Structure 1
Amino acid sequence: MAKFEVIGTASIPGQGTELRLLQRNDEFSIRIAGAPGELMNTRLHGSEDALGELACRPLAGRSGVRVLVGGLGMGFTLAAALAALGEDAEVVVAELVPGVVEWNRGPLGAAAGYPLDDPRTRVSLGDVGELLRSEPGGFDAIMLDVDNGPEGLTRRENDRLYSPRGLATSQEALRPDGVLAVWSAGPDPAFTDRLQRLGLLVEEVTVRAHRPGKGARHRIWLAS
């Protein structure tokens, strides 16, 4: 069997931590240098697809929709959001690591169908929390797939995004009847409570990493 080979590296701003892009035949993996396991794999994207589908499906019949994807990753959530929305929608994708955007414009992009090339996509390089603070009432849906969920692995600053204050910022960035969708690698009852304390109606959905019905069980919160 072929082995994974490193084909790209990218530094996480402000952390001194390195992400690595690996390839084995037509399979890609993103990992943190020096850490066990992997963050993402192109063969295991069922829950990333579900994040985009669940958040954007209710918006399918609306015109002038504007949504935010926090964390580009391998592009699967972005692709699912674009597939669910109309031709006049705008999908803003916020990505902290410029190298991840470059990977998605290069060989990695084929796995998700090169969603960055869709004319409805706009890339915002930088911290998604800063973008949210700058755009109150700016989005019909916000999809957060940053780090490993509410219990982050790669950036301590991501804790602020999932704190009560950070979640209130996301709430303020939603338009009326908007939805906040949050991906996580696992359950987090304290996070559910945090959302409910903001007065949000919360649905917690279990999704599988690999379709149909296979792979690890991940969580998506839908808060409206």
Structure 2
Amino acid sequence: MLPRETIATAQIPDGEELTLVSHGRDFIIMLGRDELMGTRMQYSEEQLAVLTLAELRAAQPRVLIGGYGMGFTYRAALAAIPEGGKVVAAEIVPEILDWARGPLAELSGDCLDDPRGEVVICDVAALIDDANDGTCAKFDAILLDVDNGPDGIVRDANYRIYSKTGLGKARDALNPGGILAVWSAAPDHKFTRRLKDAGFDVQVREVRARPNNKGPRHTIWFARKL
């Protein structure tokens, strides 16, 4: 069995420690003993962007992504964004970008230099607030992959994102017909109800972690602003 090698660590603000490890040719970001993401199972995170962008009505959509991580959702959004569109990712751990340009440079490619995208070191909730108070333009899609799901919180401050108030703020930060898409490692029927109560039309899809219908089943909520 191949050993896991620790490459780097980083502290989540007001949270636990992240560890970047290599396992043969693969890379994994760990939170304690739990795997947050890895290069062997990235398909569902890519589909978070692909499936959302396929449903957008805007000709030149503005897309906000909560969490850069290993960049799976970010790169998929850049690949699918129509001409004139913009992708903004909020990442709260600065070292994540150091990893992207360092040990994960081959995986990252040139995505961090793509003029259609921008990675901002901040809480995604702050950019949602900016859209609501007019500091920045509203979004056509908000993609959230900052935790393992509404019931798998990585950082206590993120609870507000999935609360009724937080979902209302996300709804208000969207243009008419915009979509809030949320990735989760597991289903959560209470969260589905919360989205509906917040004024969204909700579709829930199950997506495998790997292509060809392989790997664990992950959940994505697609909540359209009415």
Alignment of structure 1 residues 78-157 onto 2, 5 Å: 78-136=74-132, 138-157=138-157
Question: C-alpha offsets along residues 196-219 of structure 1, whole Å, 9 cap, x if unaligned?
Answer: 112211000000011110111000
- SS at structure 1 position matched to 2:34: coil
Alignment gaps of 5+ in structure 2: none
Q: 5+ unaligned residues in a row in structure 1: which ranges?
A: none
The runs of at least 4 aligned residues of structure 1 exceeding 4 Å deviation read none
CA distance in 1, matches of 2:185, 2:127: 24
2-side partners of 1:199 and 1:172: how far apart? 10
Q: CA deviation at 1:2?
A: 3.3
For residue 60 of structure 1, report the CA deviation from its aligned partner. 8.2
Q: Does 1:37 align with 2:34?
A: yes
Q: When the two structures are superposed, what TM-score results if normalisation uses the length of structure 1?
A: 0.93
For residues 131 and 90 of structure 1, what CA distance do their matches in structure 2 show?
Answer: 14
CA contact (8 A) 1:105 1:114 kept: no
Provide the aligned length of Structure 1 versus Structure 2: 220
1:37 CA drift (Å): 3.1
Alignment match, 2:20: 21
Task: Find the counterpart in structure 2 of residue 176 from structure 1.
Answer: 176
State the secondary structure of the residue aligned to 1:2: coil
What amino acid does structure 2 have at the position aligned with 1:22? V
Partner AA of 1:172 in structure 2: D
Alignment match, 1:70 = 66
Range with greater deviation from structure 2 (145-154 or 163-172): 145-154
TM-score (norm 2): 0.92
Number of the residue aligned with 2:220: 220
Counterparts of 1:30 and 1:195, CA distance in 2: 29
SS of 1:161 mapped into structure 2: helix
Task: Provide the alpha-carbon RMSD of the alignment.
Answer: 1.6
Match of 1:110, SS? helix
What percentage of residue pairs aligned between the two structures are identical? 48
